[in-house]
Amino acid sequence: MFTPNRRSLLKFAAAGVATAGVSMPWAARAATQRVVVIGGGPGGATAAHYLKRFAPELDVTLIEANAKYHTCFMSNEVIAGLRKLDELAVGFDGLKKAGVKVVNDLVTGIDATAKTVATKGGQSFGFDRCIVAAGIDFKFDAVAGYSAEAAEILPHAYKAGPQTETLRKQLEAMPDGGTFVLVAPPNPFRCPPGPYERASLVADYFKRNKPKSKVVILDAKDAFSKQKLFEEAWTRFFGYGTPDSMITWVSAKQGGTVKEVDVAGRTVVAEAGKFKGDVVNLIPPQMAGKIARDAGLAEKGWAAIDARTFESKAVPGVHVIGDAAIATAMPKSGYAASSQAKAAAVAVIQMLRGQPVFSVPLINTCYSFINKDYCFSIAGIYEPSPDGATLAERTDAGGTSPLAKDDDYRLREARYAHSWFDNIVKDSWG
């Protein structure tokens, strides 16, 4: 149940991560130890931020290809016209003020033997430990007819940025009475509730502006995160389950798995048949980001890690956090990445100081909007097994928002969500 006690427990667990790092004893070093963090999203930024916070003596370098990062969380609000893309842009001045060296360049290689990181700009950075927050890439070839080039026409918009605005503009140009086809990816993928929140907010946009329009979700799964909460809201706001429903969900059992796409004809071929859309939002199957794969960290698509330290099982001395990692029960979300980053920062400091590594709790919370005033959430606390093989969710904490709550309750959750966004941005990027 979503109660003040649950929120208090999450707050307590979060404080436990910070206290674990801050309370560690200092140890003198003959030479400054170096940690290189790759990737400036919520995982990488938080790791760099907390490494300097917990151990100011470390030389911490964050390497990120872009001068600004756009958060994927809250990007569905941009697609639905509730927020501007610029409101999701974060810079790195806060990290610089905290003492992190920020380098805007693209990492092209990690040499774990020589302990160096190479960049496209010709730079080389030595490290004692490296943390990789590589994010996701897409398996474009998993759907016949789709490609990176095709994604500029049928956008996935699953990395916030130009494609987010492309999808928004396509919806604005769509005639009333048109169809928005959303193709949801198979597991595992970034932000499990994300496609369904997007479908909800698009339907809300249609209800307000293009009431004759429809949303069709083609899915490679038979269940999804927070499904009962979504379906309750869809029934109330969009007539879900009736002949006039604004939203139709086609599950895998109903033939929702997509095999092929005709880009020019904006037609998706699923097992259930052909679906033509005025706008097609195809979110492909996913895998760990390129640098994680190129460095041998993600040998089977995702990076296997020790759940106590997030050190790679394939490449010693390199830690993988966030979406690219296999964190078993923990979902791939921005808040999960931030929580993993703090745990990895604690572990890296302990390892560099030659201290025993102790485990810390990890947290995830995720909010989903139906409209600007209606929101619900899911949260969990996770603990690594003694051998670091798994991250198991605690059964005595967390949970989802309850069903059948009134509008005031959902509005409070919407306000919590926006407060959460402001807090995680400050916590991660400074």
Distances (CA, A) of 51 to 101, 116, 349: 12, 19, 7
* Beta bridge partner(s), residue 409: none
pLDDT digits (tens, 9 = 90+) for 165-200: 999 999 999 999 999 999 999 999 999 999 999 999
pLDDT digits (tens, 9 = 90+) for 61-91: 999 999 999 999 999 999 999 999 999 999 9
Question: What local confidence, expressed as pLDDT, does residue 11 receive?
Answer: 46
pLDDT digits (tens, 9 = 90+) for 244-260: 999 999 999 999 999 99
pLDDT digits (tens, 9 = 90+) for 129-170: 999 999 999 999 999 999 999 999 999 999 999 999 999 999
Average pLDDT over residues 233-241: 98
Distances (CA, A) of 418 to 77, 250, 414: 11, 31, 6
Q: Indicate if the alpha-carbon torsion angle 227, 231, 237, 243 is positive or negative.
A: positive
pLDDT value at 5 more than 70: no
pLDDT value at 231 more than 60: yes
pLDDT value at 22 more than 90: no
The structure tokens listed for 166 are 């492309």
Question: What local confidence, expressed as pLDDT, does residue 20 receive?
Answer: 43
**Three state DSSP letters for the chain:** CCCHHHHHHHHHHHHHHHHHHHCCCCCCCCCCCEEEEECCCHHHHHHHHHHHHHCCCCEEEEEECCCCEECCCCHHHHHCCCCCHHHHEECCHHHHHCCCEEEECCEEEEECCCCEEEECCCCEEECCEEEECCCEEECHHHCECCCCCHHHCCCCCCCCCHHHHHHHHHHHHCCCCCEEEEEECCCCCCCCCHHHHHHHHHHHHHHHHCCCCEEEEEECCCCCCCHHHHHHHHHHHHCCCCCCCCEEEECCCCCCCEEEEECCCCEEEECCEEEECCEEEECCCEEECHHHHHCCCCCCCCEEECCCCCEECCCCCEEECHHHEECCCCCCCHHHHHHHHHHHHHHHHHHHCCCCCCCCCEEEEEEEEEECCEEEEEEEEEEECCCCCCEEECCCCCEECCCCCCHHHHHHHHHHHHHHHHHHHHHHHC
Residue 358: pLDDT band by 50, 70, 90 thresholds?
Answer: confident
The CATH classification of domain 4-135+289-429, taken from the options 3.40.190.10, 3.50.50.60, 3.40.640.10, 3.40.50.80: 3.50.50.60
pTM of this structure:
0.93
Question: What local confidence, expressed as pLDDT, does residue 15 receive?
Answer: 46
Question: What local confidence, expressed as pLDDT, does residue 221 receive?
Answer: 98
- What are the structural domain ranges in the chain? 4-135+289-429, 141-282
pLDDT digits (tens, 9 = 90+) for 110-129: 999 999 999 999 999 999 99
Question: What local confidence, expressed as pLDDT, does residue 359 receive?
Answer: 85
Residue 315: pLDDT band by 50, 70, 90 thresholds?
Answer: very high
Question: What local confidence, expressed as pLDDT, does residue 81 receive?
Answer: 98
Q: Which residue has the tokens 């949970």?
A: 399
Output 22 or 392, whichever has higher pLDDT: 392
Question: What local confidence, expressed as pLDDT, does residue 360 receive?
Answer: 87
Question: What local confidence, expressed as pLDDT, does residue 23 receive?
Answer: 42
Task: Give the closest residue to 346 by CA, choosing from 37, 99, 19.
Answer: 19
Omega of the bond leading into 402 within 30 degrees of 0 (cis): no
Q: Which residue has the tokens 């503009």?
A: 169
| CATH architecture label of 141-282 | 3-Layer(bba) Sandwich (3.50)
Question: Could you check whether 4-135+289-429 and 141-282 share the same CATH topology?
Answer: yes
